[in-house]
Amino acid sequence: MKNKPILVVAGDPQSVFLEIFFKAINFKKYKSSIILICNKKILKLFIKKNNINKKIKIFNLKELYQSKLNPNYVNLVDVECKNIQSLKHVKKYLNQSFNIAFELLNNNFTNKFINGPINKKKFLDNKLLGITEYISNKYNIKNSGMLIYNKHLSVCPLTTHLPIKMVYKYINKKVIIDKIKLIDSFFKTYLKVKPRIAVTGLNPHCESILKFNEDEKIVTKAIINQRDKGLDVNGPFPADTIFLKKNRDKYNVILGMYHDQVLAPIKAIYEFQAINITMGLPFLRITPDHGPNISMIGKNKSNPISLIRALEFLD
């Protein structure tokens, strides 16, 4: 993995990604070569506007396999994007960008992949909840997972971009068991660390005024099932106390029942010092832990640290 290049899909053309990309590659030198998959005109315009002293070397796919990459250049695969204001053209551009990356990944050119933030409304149909699900679907992966990773503490939401009123419908014993297994496998395989997993309850204080309490009937049974098989997993814990420091010292990953239950606390604690890793894929896919942030375009105030941490993780 050490000698493989890092593929970077620039993502949404209306985002702060190019700003943080150049801040990240100017921050330090990385051992791995970096290949940017992006539109040439958009890239050159950004470089000119911001007086960036960086040369571009353009490759087609055939040339990439045969060439030695120069770390002093932006190694670019050009993707057509006729009009960044056109939803149709942006969607085509993003599809082509991902397909180029998938081709290189499928041919074992590399196993390191980063994509910039994407406005999901521009790109995905209503059947897919996010880019994690989009990529998992491309590879027919049923059990993938979003891991917001920091070396001290990580979180994984059992459900991702679901409306709150739908969350309980997707929670069952099998789904929880599968996600616990996925976390355990990923930590041992890629991080060489045994995960100490805490699982949150679904309900406030893991209690319910209803006769059927999911935390007793579903979550607890899934945890016991995996603990009996030797995994270091405990819970369910109330979400309002599991992130206290004494608990963060006991566990290095928290599995939550829904998106904001665990993403809000982790971002409050670590801000941009975390990255979004997709577990379960045949390659390492990471994104910076933030969105396109259109309101910040052109202000040169965006924080690149999450992309720096993503590049460091793959380097």
Please say whether the beta carbons of 107 and 5 come within 8 A: no
pLDDT at residue 173 in the model: 97
Structure tokens at 177: 């068991």
Structure tokens at 134: 């989009």
Q: Are residues 15 and 110 in the same domain?
A: yes
Q: Are residues 129 and 61 in the same domain?
A: yes
pLDDT at residue 247 in the model: 95
* Average pLDDT score over the chain: 92
- Looking at the predicted structure, is the pLDDT value of residue 306 above 70? yes
> Which has more confidence, 213 or 128?
213
Its domain, for residue 247, covers 143-280
- Looking at the predicted structure, is the pLDDT value of residue 94 above 70? yes
- The span from the CA of 200 to the CA of 196, in Å, is 13
* CA distances (Å), origin 152, targets 126, 185, 228: 35, 18, 26
- The span from the CA of 128 to the CA of 109, in Å, is 28
pLDDT at residue 209 in the model: 84
The single residue listed with the structure tokens 């690149």 is 304
Ranking 114-123, 180-189, 252-261 by mean pLDDT, the lowest is: 114-123
- The span from the CA of 239 to the CA of 233, in Å, is 16
Element (H, E) at 226: helix 220-227
- Encoded amino acid at 191, one letter: L
Contacts (Cβ under 8 Å, ≥6 apart) of 189: none
Q: Across residues 87-106, what is the average pLDDT?
A: 94
Q: Across residues 95-119, what is the average pLDDT?
A: 94
CA-nearest of 93, 65, 92 to 78 is: 93
Q: Are residues 269 and 295 in the same domain?
A: no
Q: How far is CA 36 from the centre of its chain?
A: 17
Q: How far is CA 312 from the centre of its chain?
A: 14
Is residue 1 very low, low, confident or very high in pLDDT (cuts 50, 70, 90)? low
- Looking at the predicted structure, is the pLDDT value of residue 126 above 70? no
Q: Are residues 210 and 309 in the same domain?
A: no
The percentage of residues in the chain with a pLDDT greater than 70, rounded to a whole number, is: 99
- Looking at the predicted structure, is the pLDDT value of residue 71 above 80? no
> Which has more confidence, 72 or 143?
143
Q: Are residues 265 and 292 in the same domain?
A: no
Is residue 74 very low, low, confident or very high in pLDDT (cuts 50, 70, 90)? confident
Is residue 2 very low, low, confident or very high in pLDDT (cuts 50, 70, 90)? low
Structure tokens at 175: 């789904």
Q: Are residues 170 and 260 in the same domain?
A: yes
| Side-chain-facing half-sphere of 176: CA atoms under 13 Å | 34
Q: Are residues 174 and 220 in the same domain?
A: yes
Total structural domains in the chain?
2
Q: Across residues 62-90, what is the average pLDDT?
A: 88
Please say whether the beta carbons of 228 and 180 come within 8 A: no
Please tell me the chain's helix, strand, coil percentages from 3-state DSSP, rounded to the nearest 5: 40, 20, 40
Phi/psi for 292 (5° steps) reads: -60, -35
Q: Across residues 248-252, what is the average pLDDT?
A: 96
Q: Are residues 217 and 294 in the same domain?
A: no
Q: Across residues 179-186, what is the average pLDDT?
A: 98
DSSP letter for each residue of 147-163: EEE-SS-EEEESS-S--
pLDDT at residue 65 in the model: 87
Q: Are residues 85 and 165 in the same domain?
A: no
Q: Are residues 59 and 173 in the same domain?
A: no
Which CATH number belongs to the domain containing residue 73 in this structure? 3.40.718.10
- The span from the CA of 72 to the CA of 179, in Å, is 41
The single residue listed with the structure tokens 């085509």 is 92
Q: Are residues 165 and 118 in the same domain?
A: no
- The span from the CA of 89 to the CA of 80, in Å, is 9
Beta strands in the chain (DSSP E): 6-9, 34-38, 55-59, 73-78, 112-115, 145-149, 154-157, 197-200, 233-237, 253-256, 275-279, 284-288
- Encoded amino acid at 131, one letter: I
Q: Are residues 73 and 170 in the same domain?
A: no
pLDDT at residue 41 in the model: 94
